[in-house]
């Protein structure tokens, strides 16, 4: 199916439903289980949609969260990663922690999505130290 009104309607409906179900799917799951919601392999039904359109729609869909307010970046990141993957692209979901929060009772963490090494959904925040990339880069795995 080529990029057109029908594909965009299907995409938007799929994105809207996924955004509403994500808080239930994430729940209080551990990190490894949450990463399963960002599959490395998937069909590419949205291959003909521009990545800029996908990112714009993800940002618009999650701008007023009812759930996952304290984990907004995780919701954006998982959705962005997943739908960019379904467009046949090769995004990275990156995770970081605020170094200053390492000795606090609650760790301050953040995630964002990159395409070709450039942030497209959210971005690293000042003071964040990147701790993980999904999928792990070949260089990091070889070290």
* DSSP per-residue string spanning 93-142: EEEEEEGGGGGSSS--EEEEEEETTEEEES-PPTTEEEEEEESPPHHHHH
pTM of the model: 0.85
pLDDT tens digits, one per residue of 65-110: 555 455 678 889 999 999 999 999 999 999 998 888 877 887 788 8
pLDDT tens digits, one per residue of 15-70: 999 998 888 888 888 889 989 889 888 889 999 999 999 999 999 988 775 554 55
């Amino acid at each position: 199916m080529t990029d057109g009104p029908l594909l965009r309607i299907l995409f938007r409906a799929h994105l809207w439903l996924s955004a509403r179900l994500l808080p239930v799917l994430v729940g209080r799951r551990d990190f490894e289980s949450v990463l399963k919601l960002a599959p490395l392999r998937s069909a590419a039904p949205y291959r003909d949609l521009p990545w800029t359109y996908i990112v714009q729609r993800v940002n618009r869909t999650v701008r007023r969260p009812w759930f996952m307010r304290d984990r907004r970046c995780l919701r954006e990141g998982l959705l962005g990663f997943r739908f960019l993957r379904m467009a046949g692209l090769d995004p990275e979901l990156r995770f970081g922690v605020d170094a200053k929060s390492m000795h606090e009772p609650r760790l301050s963490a953040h995630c964002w999505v990159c395409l070709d090494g450039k942030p497209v959904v959210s971005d690293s925040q000042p003071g964040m130290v990147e701790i993980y990339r999904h999928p792990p880069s070949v260089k990091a795995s070889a070290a």
